[in-house]
Structure 1
Amino acid sequence: MSQNANPGAVLRGAVDLSSLRNRPQPTAPGAAPASAGASAPTGTAGLVRDATDETFGEILELSRTVPVVIDLWAEWCGPCKQLSPILESVITELAGRLVLVKVDVDANPQLAQAFRAQSIPMVVALVAGQPVPLFTGAVPEQQVREVFAQLLQLAAQNGVTGTLAVDDADAIDPDDETVEPTLPPLHAAAFAAIEEGDYDAAIAAYEQALVENPRDEDARAGLGQVRLLSRVTGLELEAARAAAAAAPTDVAAQFAVADLDIAGGHVDDAFGRLLDLFGALPEDERAPVRERLLELFGLIGDPDPRVIRARGRLASLLF
């Protein structure tokens, strides 16, 4: 991973969308080609839209301005029909801070393959063109809200804080006088340092933000992400896996592969590796592994089902 790696890559899966970025767009007979700088449609309808293999390049570009939630679904999928209204309701309430894009996996096999949609409904996000895994299956509305709140935090840490214009007055609280949020000074300093590849400076900025406000959850999440970026920079996956396979109880070797798995979106693999290591070590050598697990739990987010499962297994190993 290069020093200039996008911070959004911390939570993204191994998804390659480059082939969809510059795909030519279909043009109706007699119509002028769409301008590359055309603005996104306004109105509530613009917050929920469909995408195809051919039009997905537009969505990638939109995600550089406002975070995009991708709902991978199919007509025959019962859980999809349960989840979609929840997604649309929460997106509408957020009044342009997120956009929902629906992808019919049967009609768009290239997108289904790109996102590795082996089970649907599958919900992912795009932040500055980078995919971020969210969840699979029909989940409760409260969990959707929590995941979307975390997504907005991640997007802000990556400088994606735009809002899509909404014309429907019902979608916006008329008494809401909030303006588009700006990053606090220390957060802005951390983001600028990340853009320059200076992870030490970014870590220092987030740590200072936590000194000034220990309840700053955005700073805590940002700190976990930039620490991970710093650790995986320069690591080679195959070499790290070989070293870990040769030394199953070497803490540093197992940490390296777990970090790479988290950075690649293989969260269950990372947690499983560290929990196996925790169980294999003598009690007096377990503390660093537990600390690393807790750090990664915070990075992924406590409401995430993968974190809940891993916490349960950790508790069983402790007691």
Structure 2
Amino acid sequence: MAPLACCNLCRKFKPHLLMALAQIGYTFLYFITEASFNHGMNPHVYITYRHIVAGLVMLPFAYFLERKIRPQLTLYLFVEIFILSLLGVGLTLNMYFASLRYTSPTFLASMVNTIASLTFVIAIVLRLEVLDLRNPRGMAKALGTLVSLAGVMMMTLYKGPIVRNLGHPLIHIGGNTSVREDWLKGSILTVGSCITWSIWYIMQAYTLKRYPAQLSLTTWMSFVGGAQSAVFTVIVEHKRAAWTIGLNIDFWSTIYGGVVCSGLIIFIQLWCTQEKGPVFVTMFNPLSTILVAVLAYFVLGEKLYMGSHCHYRPVLAAVGEG
């Protein structure tokens, strides 16, 4: 009975475990991309390569495993996938990385935690979620949203006393940490990326109803999003040298980001969205913030404050000139 009960428990909490693993995957992404960007990798080139890698890796799995369940791709569906890719990759990620040029990483990491609240509000408006304040679960959802927003505001506006480091950092990731501040431009880009990210999570729920093939959808989003990012990168980056990467941290960060994050984790998120809805998926976003803060404090020796979560550099994508 014990093994059976354990299996039933794992099956019941499978989406929760998968989303927790996904956030752990994102945690390692923060550090490996920071090292890559400090090494000189252009963030927009990274986004392009990362999603091309994801598409190439996911393509054979999508083709063979979903042959019988994959719907026919109509023009309407392709346009929908194009918009979904733009919201999830081409527009959102490039705005996210670009905003790091003008604001602090702490501000950006705090603002990203509003995605769950924004997604919840949009889901209510579109009737994907029902808010019944007379029900304890409805009250908990509303209270959780308010607490989340209050926490973000506190982390953004209040730094608090510094927490002493316990010893020397185990790993040092060097790089240019200077920030060319333009808070108005940076805030607009940050808020814009959070809004489009929230819409992306919501739109996934609609698209999956018409295209219930998560592997194929992940592959399409990777290729289309990579192409969109390539067009954007060509416009903003005129140096050919930026597209050249060697067999170093730039290469491995691209492989990790493509295979694990843009491939496996996006597939997990799509599956969980179909099972539990978009709000459930975004509820786990703060977990990676906590994990990065803890690892940055204990492993990298970054400063940690009692008010704002830390003074770490989650993805120094565009802090320097890239």
Instruction: Indicate whether the TM-score tops 0.5.
Output: no
Relative contact order (alpha carbons < 8 A, sep ≥ 6): 1 or 2 greater?
2
TM-score interval, normalised by the smaller of the two chains: under 0.3
TM-score, with length taken from structure 1:
0.21
Higher strand share: 1
